[in-house]
Amino acid sequence: MDLIVEGRARTAAVTGGLVPTSVRVPTSGLALRCLVWGSESDPTALLLHGNGGHAHWWDALVPALVPGWRLVAPDLRGHGESDWAEPPRYRLEDFARDLTSVHDALAPGRMVLVGHSMGGRVAAWYATAHPERVRGLVLLDSRMNRVRRREAAGWRARVAGMRVGRGYATRDQALAAFRFVPDEVAVSPAIVADLAHHAIVERGPGDWTFRFDRAVLSLEGDGAGDLFPRLGRLSCPVLVMAGAASWIMDAAQRDAMTAAIPDCALRVFPGGHHFLVAQPGPVGLALRVFLDGLD
């Protein structure tokens, strides 16, 4: 089967047949691939995936949100089918600057930002920098404090200088290597197949690898900034979603975030960091209720 055709079929199997339009948006000397679902007449939600992910991480939530909402999901720089930054530039400010271009091109009015993990950090940064453009914010298991350098140095140092990941001789080997980091149990096989299909690419004959620039993992990257001082400046309604068993956003982090954000609601779901793909039904419903309740 043609890989493009297979990709559409994998996506349709998860979205209930709702296949997105693919658009490329120029920004800061590179281009981002964006997926778009829904009608231009509907309000827009911009969906931001996590570190090492891609735009199709949101596929399983699409049936809960369309129709009624227009969804724009970019592959962040260095991820998926978007360009890599040359030289590597992967600070929160760089990701947030790209959002301005996506916003101007695809959602010029006020929008809702929805971010998972690193995507939530980017969304929170953008919402405090451009409050007039954001009508709501949803943070899914996104840690707001700085990643401790001692904690990150070990595993991030192992990939320092290696922008391209390990290669695999066959597509099947690359697909089999797909993993959730951290691990997540009980994810539907259809969702796993969809995520894995869109995560890999053939660089050359017999050379399959993941669509990810490992320079994103730099110690000066997304985890370098402490966003807690910015949270009190959020002027829009905020929904924080967390996995009860997540070590990325534990109970202390959740409590600190909800105390720091002026207008904040909290929903905790069973499971770990990737609860959005393990439980798309309940998560999609909670997200839809929040979105529909915004002014």
Q: Is residue 172 part of a domain?
A: no
pLDDT in tens, the chain (295 residues): 588 899 999 999 999 999 999 999 999 899 999 999 999 999 999 999 999 999 999 999 999 999 999 999 999 999 999 999 999 999 999 999 999 999 999 988 999 999 999 999 999 999 999 999 999 999 999 999 887 656 555 656 665 567 888 899 999 999 999 999 888 878 999 999 999 999 999 999 999 999 999 999 876 666 668 999 999 999 999 999 999 999 889 999 999 999 999 999 999 999 999 999 999 999 999 999 999 999 8
Percent of residues in the chain assigned helix, strand, coil, to nearest 5: 40, 20, 40
Q: Is residue 187 part of a domain?
A: no
- β-pairing, 238-243 with 134-140? parallel
In this structure, is residue 137 part of a structural domain?
yes
143 in a domain, yes or no? yes
Of 94, 51, 42, 88, nearest in space to 69 by CA: 42
What CATH number does residue 121 fall under?
A: 3.40.50.1820
Position 154 scores a pLDDT of: 61
Structural domains counted in the chain? 1
In a domain, 112, yes or no: yes
Q: Which domain holds residue 274?
A: 3-164+226-292
